[in-house]
Amino acid sequence: MTVWLVVSILLVVLSPLAWLRPSRTQSGRMALRMEARRIGLAMQLAPQEWPHWLLPEPPNPCAQYHRPRRGSQPACWTYWQKTPGVWVNQWQEVCDDRTLLDYFEKLPGNVFKIEADKQMIALYWGEKGEATVLQDIDATLKALA
């Protein structure tokens, strides 16, 4: 009886330690973020106001991978991936810029948004996939910066 009492007390004391262990999904995301840092991509969790027509609604906050822009007057634009391979602007007009589409085709289907302003180019991603996807993201951001 005493043995069972000691074992149950130990289980009660040690059970919160299991909650501290990251899940497989969290471990995978941490590995992707470390790989992104290693190749020079900056990453942060950024809150977003997603358009009502973007379904399913992406997470909020969402992982934002970004690079600074070059040039004195870079073009500013924003495109959302409505369905895999279909990029639209805020009015849901399909992107017809062949130069941008050539780069967008290399991106995974779980990239929600890519935007370029005067200071940086940012990509909002669901962080699912292998580390090789980071190479495509990095190449796209470098080329469009």
77-125 pLDDT, tens digit each: 999 999 998 999 999 999 998 999 999 999 988 899 999 999 999 999 9
Is 80 in contact with 49 (CB distance < 8 Å)?
Answer: no
pTM of the model: 0.80
Give Cα 123 to chain centroid, integer Å.
7
Interval 71-89: pLDDT, tens: 777 889 999 999 998 999 9
Find residue 94's DSSP bridge partners.
Answer: 88
Residue 126: both structure tokens together:
């669901």
Q: What is the pLDDT of residue 130?
A: 82
Residue 89: both structure tokens together:
């602007």
Q: Indicate if the pLDDT at residue 2 is higher than 90.
A: no
Distance between first and last Cα of the chain? 69
Q: Indicate if the pLDDT at residue 33 is higher than 90.
A: no
Q: What is the pLDDT of residue 127?
A: 85
Interval 126-136: pLDDT, tens: 888 788 888 99
Residue 49: both structure tokens together:
């106001």
Share of the chain above pLDDT 70, in %: 100
Share of the chain above pLDDT 90, in %: 37
DSSP secondary-structure letter at 96? -
Identity of the highest mean pLDDT range in 11-20, 25-34, 69-78, 118-127: 118-127
Sheet holding 86-88: strands in order across? 42-46, 62-68, 120-125, 111-116, 77-83, 86-88
* Pairing relationship of beta strands 77-83 and 86-88 according to DSSP bridges: antiparallel
